[in-house]
Amino acid sequence: MAALRSARATSAGGVVHRTDGERLEIVLVRRRQPPLWALPKGTPIAGETLAETAIRETSEETGLLVEIEEPIRAITYFFVHGRTRFHKTVHFFLMHAVGGRLEDHDHEFDEVGWFPYDEALELMTHATEREVVQRAAELLATRSETAKLSVSGAPS
């Protein structure tokens, strides 16, 4: 049997968040077959930056118009497709919605929705993407603590 050839692949996507009162919510996308709960992500078009890819793919897959707040981190993994073993890197960005509707998501996924942070972590299929969401929550918590310090330290 012939050996697999190797290739590299790159994608970019986002952790879209909002706060409902004090509760952090995250957007997840779902495919019924094969079963998958995941973060929105996709492949760059020629000439596109990773940030542009993340915005385009996240918007297409969720139906939301999004803006990037900051990079979160990249994950890497391997998968086999046909006779090729891919080493894939996915770059994730922290994002918030500025418009759009979940109902307008593309056909790639069966369902898109907002989920409370803890529920999102339970639903997500891949541990590496759960780690991305956990890192996003840490960034948001640090930002929140900094804002509280700035307000409480302001002169009266």
Cα–Cα distance for residue pair 34/120, rounded to 1 Å: 18
Q: Are 86 and 79 in contact (CB under 8 A)?
A: yes
Tokens of 130: 């759960």
Q: What is the pLDDT of residue 36?
A: 95
Give the C-alpha separation, 80 to 74, whole Å.
20
Domain that holds residue 93: 5-152
Query: What pLDDT score does 156 carry?
Result: 43
User: Do 106 and 61 contact (CB within 8 A), yes or no?
Assistant: yes
Tokens of 12: 């970019």
pTM of the predicted model as reported, rounded to 2 decimal places: 0.89
Q: How many domains in the chain?
A: 1
- How many other CB atoms sit within 10 Å of the CB of residue 48? 15
How confident is the model at residue 149, as a pLDDT? Answer: 52
Give the pLDDT confidence score for residue 1 in this predicted structure: 64
CATH of the domain at 93: 3.90.79.10
- Close Cβ partners of 139 (under 8 Å, ≥ 6 residues apart): 70, 72, 94
Task: Report mean pLDDT in 10-residue bins for the chain, 156 residues.
Answer: 88 95 93 94 96 98 98 95 94 98 93 96 96 96 70 45
